[in-house]
Amino acid sequence: MTPEQNLAALGATLPVIPAPKAIYKPFLIDGRQVHVSGHVPILPDGSRIRGRAGADMDADAARDAARVVGLCILSTLRAGLGSLDRVRRVIRVFGMVNATPDFGQHPHVINGCSELFAQVWGPDHGVGTRSAVGMGSLPDGVAVEIEAIFELND
C-alpha cells in the first residue's frame, strides 16, 4: 500500500496547520530531502496540547501529544508536496519533550510520532535516525515539539 493508503487505513484526520507566527518556513526542499521545521501538537479545533511531562501529564499523555505532532507534520508534507506518496523515507526525527528535570521517558514520548511514521511508510522506510530530549520549556507551553527530515522519491 502507498503512504496515502496507509494513512487512510489508520482513519486519522490531519489537522489544518496555521501559517507561521515567526520568521521561518514550515518545510524546505533541498535536493531530494525535505526538512520540516519544529511542529507542535495542534488539535483539529486549532487548540494546542499544553503541559509538562512529569508534572501536568504522564508519559502516555505526552506520547499521545507526540502522535498529534506527527499528524501535523504529515499535514504540512501533504500541503507542500501534494501527496505523502512523494516521500520515500524518514531520515531523521528530533523530538523535544517539555518535561520536569526528573522525567526520563523521553524516548517513550517521541515513540508516539515515530510509530505513526512507521505505520505510514512501513518499518523499513518509516523509521530513521532519532533523538528524544527533554526541555525546561517549549513555546507556548506545548507538551512536545518535533522536527524531521525526509527523503523524496526520484
pLDDT at 154: 82
Number of residues that make up the chain:
154
- The confidence band for 17, taking pLDDT boundaries of 50, 70 and 90, is confident
pTM of structure: 0.96
Residue 50: CA atoms inside 13 Å, Cβ hemisphere, count? 6
Flag whether pLDDT at 134 surpasses 90. Answer: yes
**Span 124-132, mean pLDDT?**
97
User: 82 with 29: CB under 8 angstroms?
Assistant: no
**Average per-residue pLDDT in the chain?**
96
pLDDT at 44: 87
Nearest alpha-carbon partner for 137 in 98, 106, 101: 98
DSSP state of 37: E
Domains and CATH numbers, the chain: 3-9+31-152 (3.30.1330.40)
Nearest alpha-carbon partner for 53 in 117, 129, 141: 141
pLDDT tens for 57-99 read: 999 999 999 999 999 999 999 999 999 999 999 999 999 999 9
Could you identify the residue written with the cell 506545548?
A: 142
Nearest alpha-carbon partner for 39 in 113, 106, 136: 113
pLDDT at 6: 97
pLDDT at 115: 98
